[in-house]
Chains A and B, each alone.
Chain A
């Protein structure tokens, strides 16, 4: 019996190893279990780029990767699906609209020089913008209060502005109305400036900091050598004049700066600039992320968003695990009731099976999702089936009057082809699903597939090893441990014809 005990030893070592792995390597939980957001992005072709090739996808992905990292969500994942889609997972992120905004928007940064003779017009627009800025601040501080809005609405200057931009004043929230107004003014301001060759493509880094005096946030920029030279040249050309330098993002001027006389000889060198545009902390961060990420080579469209609350996930995992364990408990009771000692062996083998499977999930690692857990539960059903097939054969052999040891060997041999066929057909559908499916269908296929392979291993190896080990004890080697004695042996098989 020595060789059989080696197998048993192997099984025990594997089991101990699995327990060690399960304890030490954390499971990777899918978004549906830990909460967070999932976005599917589609890359849109443009007239210039009519067909999206893997190269273009890579380009978009690189830019998005930078932006995603800028969002500061840990463990975020960005994968390509199909030919023109990207799947972004942001664990723990509960506000996908913020992510969507930062990801989807292209921040085109330009430095512009003020046109000659526009001084008066610019000053007017700046004054108007300042008063709108202070209204926005007031509304934000007072939570959009109705009293305040009433006062503001009686202001003639502002009503004129509304008229100028054709605002239907009843349509939208007051605060948003003023933000829109500011954007309109900023666009008009930008129109007073001429473009230069300095754009965001020369940017090497962007950052943000808070102004000590005003508490407003600023976005800081640094350029590469070429950009630094251009910046010096531009600032030199307007230093000491009345013309201003406009910092324009997406066609809106965020700040207009004068360049002091002291820069007349060399311009501002060192390749760094600051944009101070009355930013809030969030605005500054979003802008920083967009600038640092660079411009997207192609536009993207968000075609799917999923947000799942974390406590919902925990509740689901608890429920599912509880259901699975209870189901298994029933299966165990059923197996022992029907197959006695062999049933007990199968309960042991199934416990080992569960351990092995879980440790493989941790090792690979498999991302556990709710459908994944369903796949796991189903694979346990398959593992039980293999045992049932073997034990039914065992009973048959015993009823036919064979000895116990010979019956055990024969049962494994006879059940083998059924077990192989059943497992392989399931495996075929798992592999197909894994390659053709997307998202959580893939997760389900992966967990079920791993389960099927391991179930094949456990059924043919573990069950046998444990059974043989137990049979090496004389006291357990009784046919009555496997089958009711009144069922055997039948002297001959009757065939009714």
Chain B
């Protein structure tokens, strides 16, 4: 392993830009397609946290294998509640025909998605499903009801915190380095966040994967990670430009990237290891959270090794070559 890997970033800069550009375009396209899709109607397939609604998860108590259940039967029984249950008497009661029912983990559990219900209405649904399709492990029943106004509020607060976090980071780099570095670090950050959003918009379009509050958390983590990585490379470039100031700037960049390449790869790898473990063994709760982070870490490594430094060479005032 050579200490200063011979990286020829400047020579290949156009390939780097082409790759990043096409990935970004693909992401924007995915978000546009989601936005145009009447089912999603937003750049990302927003989950319960942001749209409001009810999710009921019931764990079936079957000894060995659970028999298949017909989800449309469950749906029928729920719709029928409108006529037999006093909690759904009033005309303003939610539309039960808009239910989504899925069998999870080899039909071991049932997930029911409904519009926003009241506590007693959700109880009626649980009772009805238990009566007709039970038995269930009552202890494991989880019910989540999020009002539509709270959903909007959560979305708003997620976006606001993202904005201020980015602003804070930009100010810090501006203070530690200069405007150019700060701009490029943010550029790399947006690139990474965009790609993660793009991947999830496609996942939402094809596999109906939704983004929740945890997704917002993962975006912030990715933002932090991305800037962290970019800053380490920038730090090296600045150091090289002082130590090897006789070299032209493009070689300083190449050398700095070469010097930090091993570190970036190792760090990405050690960060990916626990994440991959969560993907494999962590259960369903954190699966998509870890998945978003894996994409973000890979994109973040790419943007800090290749994209940001190569862009630095064109923003530089220094003579190139």
Shortest A460–chain B CB gap in Å is: 16
**What are the residues of chain A within 8 A of B140 when measuring CB–CB?**
309, 311-312
A436 within 8 A of partner (CB)? yes
Q: What's the dominant secondary structure at chain A's contact region? A: helix
Chain B min CB distance to A483 (Å): 10
Identify which of residues 162-189 in chain B touch chain A, using a CB-to-CB cut-off of 8 Å. Answer: 164-165, 168-169, 172-173, 176
A323 touching B213 by the CB < 8 A rule? Answer: no
B228 adjacent to A425 (CB under 8 Å): yes
Using A374-B289, A421-B235 as known contacts, say yes or no to A323 and B224 having CB atoms under 8 A apart. Answer: no
Which stretch, B30-38, B199-207, B267-275, B312-320, touches the partner chain A? B267-275
Q: Which residues of A contact B251 (CB under 8 A)?
A: 497
Q: Is the CB of B235 within 8 A of A172?
A: no
A396 at the interface (CB under 8 A from B): yes
Task: Please name all residues of chain A whose beta carbon is closer than 8 Å to the beta carbon of B150 when the two chains form the complex.
Answer: 40, 42, 303-304
By the criterion CB–CB under 8 Å, are B275 and A327 in contact? Answer: yes
Q: Residue B119 contacts which of A171, A305, A428, A440 (CB distance < 8 angstroms)?
A: A305
B217 touches A444 (CB 8 A): yes
- A188 at the binding interface (Cβ < 8 Å): no
- Interface residue A306 (Cβ < 8 Å from any Cβ of B): yes
Report whether A425 and B227 are in contact in the complex, using a CB–CB cutoff of 8 Å: yes
Question: In the complex, which residues of chain A have a beta carbon less than 8 angstroms from the beta carbon of B92?
Answer: none
Q: Is B145 an interface residue (CB 8 A)?
A: yes
Nearest chain A residue, comparing its CB with the CB of B231: A421
State whether the Cβ of A258 lies closer than 8 Å to any Cβ in chain B.
no
How does the 8 Å CB contact mask read for A421-456 relative to B, with 1 for contact and 0 for none? 111111011111100111111001000100000000
Contacts of B146 in A (CB 8 A): 303-304
Contact A441 B216 (CB under 8 A): yes
Of the candidates B120, B141, B244, B278, the one whose C-beta lies within 8 Å of that of A323 is B278
**Pairwise interchain contact B224-A440, C-beta atoms closer than 8 A:** no
**In whole angstroms, what is the CA distance A490 to B4 when docked?**
12
Do B144 and A331 touch (CB < 8 A)? Answer: no
Which A residues lie within 8 Å of B283 (CB)? 315-316, 319-320
Q: Are A97 and B86 in contact (CB under 8 A)?
A: no
Known contacts A173-B86, A316-B283, A421-B228; is-contact A429 B168 (Cβ 8 Å): yes
- Tell me if B119 and A97 are in contact (CB < 8 A): yes
Is A378 touching B281 in the complex (CB atoms < 8 A)? Answer: no
Q: With A96-B119, A173-B86, A319-B282 in contact, do A389 and B227 touch (Cβ < 8 Å)?
A: no
Which chain A residues numbered 445 to 497 have a C-beta less than 8 Å away from chain B? 448, 487, 490, 493, 495-497
Contact string against A for B residues 227-248, beta-carbon threshold 8 Å, 1 for contact and 0 otherwise = 1110110011001000010010
Q: Which of A370, A389, A433 contacts B286 (CB 8 A)?
A: A370
- Choose from A94, A97, A334 the contact partner of B273 (Cβ within 8 Å): A334
Decide: B168 and A428 in contact? CB cutoff 8 A: yes
- Which of B19-27, B63-71, B72-80, B153-161 interfaces with chain A? B153-161
Whether B232 and A389, one on each chain, are in contact in the complex, defined by CB atoms closer than 8 angstroms, is yes
| B137 pairs with A311, CB closer than 8 A | yes
Given the complex of chains A and B, what is the CA–CA distance between A96 and B37 in angstroms? 36
Interchain CB contact under 8 A, B145 and A327? no
B1 within 8 A of A: yes
Known contacts: A42-B149, A172-B86, A432-B165. The answer to whether A425 contacts B173 by CB under 8 A is yes
* A377 beta carbon closer than 8 Å to chain B: yes
* Chain A 370-385 interface mask (CB, 8 Å, partner B; 1/0): 1100100110111011
CA gap between A395 and B266 in the complex, in Å = 14
Knowing A426-B228, A432-B164, the reply to whether A306 touches B144 (Cβ < 8 A) is yes
Q: A303-B147, A426-B228, A429-B169 are in contact. Are A172 and B1 (CB under 8 A)?
A: no
Contact of B143 among A96, A381, A423, A428 (CB under 8 A): A96
| A100: Cβ under 8 A from any B Cβ | yes
Task: Tell me if A70 counts as interface (CB < 8 A to partner B).
Answer: no
Q: Give Cα A306 to B227, complex, Å.
A: 35
Q: Is the CB of B168 within 8 A of A330?
A: no
Which residues on B sit within 8 Å (CB–CB) of A42?
Answer: 147, 149-150
- In this assembly, does B285 line the interface, its C-beta being within 8 Å of a C-beta of chain A? yes
Q: In this assembly, does A338 line the interface, its C-beta being within 8 Å of a C-beta of chain B?
A: yes
B221 within 8 A of partner (CB): yes
- Is A6 close to B, CB under 8 A? no
Q: When the two chains form their complex, are residues A395 and B3 in contact, meaning their CB atoms are under 8 A apart?
A: yes
Q: Are A327 and B122 in contact, CB atoms less than 8 angstroms apart? A: no
Chain B residues within an 8 Å CB radius of A388: 263, 266-267, 270
Q: Assuming A319-B283, A399-B3, is B277 touching A429 (CB within 8 A)? A: no
> Which residues from B are CB-within-8-Å of A63?
none
Q: B270 to A320, Cβ gap below 8 A?
A: no
Residues of B within 8 A of A417 (CB): 235
Among A173, A426, A430, chain B packs the most CB atoms within 10 A around the CB of A426
Q: How far is the CB of B239 from chain A (nearest CB, A)?
A: 8
Q: In the complex, which of the residues A40, A417, A422 has the most CB atoms of chain B within 10 Å of its own CB atom? A: A422
Please report the C-alpha to C-alpha distance between residue A96 and residue B144 in the assembled complex, in whole angstroms. Answer: 11
Task: Give min CB distance, B42 to chain A, whole Å.
Answer: 20
Q: Which of B149, B271, B286 contacts A385 (CB 8 A)?
A: B271
B132 to chain A, nearest CB (A): 15
A-chain residues with CB within 8 Å of residue B119 when the two chains form the complex: 96-97, 100-101, 302, 305
Instruction: Assess A374 versus B286: contact at CB under 8 Å? Given A323-B278, A335-B270, A421-B232.
Output: yes
At the interface, yes or no: B311 with Cβ under 8 Å from chain A? no
Contact in complex: A326, B176 (CB < 8 Å)? no
With A396-B3, A422-B231 as contacts: A334 and B85 at CB distance below 8 Å? no
Q: How far is the CB of B229 from chain A (nearest CB, A)?
A: 8
Given A323-B274, A331-B270, A396-B3; A448-B221 close (CB under 8 Å):
yes
- In the bound complex, how far is the Cα of B244 from the Cα of A156, in angstroms? 104
Within 8 Å CB of A303, what residues of B?
146-147, 149-150
Chain B residue nearest to A448 in the complex (CB): B221
Chain B's nearest CB lies how many Å from the CB of A196?
33
B225 neighbours in A (Cβ, 8 Å): 426
Q: How far is the CB of A297 from chain B (nearest CB, A)?
A: 21
Q: A304 and B145: CB pair below 8 A?
A: yes
In A351-387, the 8 Å CB interface with B consists of: 370-371, 374, 377-378, 380-382, 384-385
B83 within 8 A of A: yes
Interface membership of A324, Cβ < 8 A: yes
Give the residue of A94, A320, A323, A400 whose beta carbon is less than 8 angstroms from that of B139.
A94
**Cα distance, A374 to B217, chains bound together (Å):** 10
Residues of A close to B289: CB separation below 8 A: 371, 374
Taking CB atoms, residues of chain B closer than 8 Å to A493 are: 4
Most chain A CB within 10 A, of B84, B120, B160, B281, is at B281
Question: Can you name 18 A-B pairs with beta carbons within 8 Å?
Answer: A40-B150, A96-B143, A171-B84, A173-B85, A173-B86, A305-B119, A312-B140, A371-B214, A378-B293, A380-B274, A389-B267, A392-B263, A418-B232, A425-B169, A425-B228, A429-B169, A436-B164, A497-B247
Given contacts A180-B86, A429-B221, 10 further A-B contacts (CB under 8 A): A100-B118, A301-B147, A302-B118, A308-B142, A315-B283, A388-B270, A399-B3, A429-B224, A436-B157, A437-B161
Binding site for B on A (CB under 8 A): 35, 40, 42, 82, 94, 96-97, 100-101, 170-173, 176, 180, 301-312, 315-316, 319-320, 322-324, 326-328, 330-331, 334-335, 338, 370-371, 374, 377-378, 380-382, 384-385, 388-389, 392, 395-396, 399-400, 414, 417-418, 421-426, 428-433, 436-441, 444, 448, 487, 490, 493, 495-497
